[in-house]
Amino acid sequence: MTLGGPDQQGSLPGLDLEEAAELARRHGLQQVGVRPPLGRYARDVWGKRHFLLSLSTANFLARHQNNYLGQLWAVLNPLLLAAAYWLIFGVLLRTDRGTENYVGFLTIGLFTFMFMSAGFNYAAKALVDQLSLVRALQFPRALLPISVVLTELLASLPAFVMLVVIALVTGEPPHWKWLLLPVAIGIVAMTTTGIGLLAARFVHGARDLANLIPLATRMLRYISGIFFSVTAYASGLIGDILQFQPVAVSLTMVRECLLEEAPLTWSTWAWSAGWAVGLLAIGFVFFWRAEASYGRG
């Protein structure tokens, strides 16, 4: 029973601030708008991996549900685009110098770049597009850009399977190194996630930067060796920069899995893995540092 009469003034007797905070900590309650420690944040992201997979799968399945051909568009879209690129760059502009199997070279580069570009373009706007969700629910915000990349990976899996079929049709002999394709795709996904996390924080902090992402994507499309061999057209320092930047070296790594003309090289895989680990780590920490600010303003 509370002491005092009906006209009692002042605060309700109870725990002081420090005791209340300790009680909240013991029961797992967290203060809203405060950035958690990095280790706990990473564990929280990992703990919600099943939700992450469910969200990404649902987004992927909903993508073509209103189309007659449904998920078949996941294969048709890249194939039609590859045919257009082959006609323009392979037949008209003759950019096939330095390649033996140009169809395989082109489709591997194009399909891989389509995944990467879609991943970091959509991830860049993940927070902005889901602002109501960010403001309504308490969860690690990194799940949003990561789920976007995972959705694009699921959408690209049929195209990656089609690459094996194209390799066979264009005369590539089956080889044990084809088994490295899933590993290469995983490394590419890590690189894409790292870039997406970086872009998501930049765009959340300055919305106008979202207009620069498509411009950067177009530039990468033309300098990453999608429809031409970088080594056949560039040399010296410029050639090395173009060849080993994260997107270009990722395309080369995937080509080394399927093309006989592209033998496995340690430098390609070392650079690709280095970019993947480095960009993912830097992107995750950079994104986490602004965790408390997402959804404000």
pLDDT (0 to 100) of residue 11: 44
pLDDT (0 to 100) of residue 69: 61
User: In this predicted model, what pLDDT tens digit does every residue of 57-104 receive, in sequence order?
Assistant: 988 888 766 665 666 777 888 899 999 999 999 899 898 998 999 999
pLDDT (0 to 100) of residue 20: 46
Residues of the chain with pLDDT under 50: 1-3, 5-6, 8, 10-12, 15, 20-21, 23-24, 27
SS3 string of the chain?
CCCCCCCCCCCCCCCCHHHHHHHHHHCCCCCCCCCCCHHHHHHHHHHCHHHHHHHHHHHHHHHCCCCCCHHHHHHHHHHHHHHHHHHHHHHHCCCCCCCCCHHHHHHHHHHHHHHHHHHHHHHHCHHHHCHHHHHHCCCCCCHHHHHHHHHHHHHHHHHHHHHHHHHHHCCCCCCHHHHHHHHHHHHHHHHHHHHHHHHHHHHHHCHHHHHHHHHHHHHHHHHCCCCCCHHHHCCHHHHHHHHHCHHHHHHHHHHHHHCCCCCCCHHHHHHHHHHHHHHHHHHHHHHHCCHHHCCCC
pLDDT (0 to 100) of residue 32: 54
pLDDT (0 to 100) of residue 76: 86
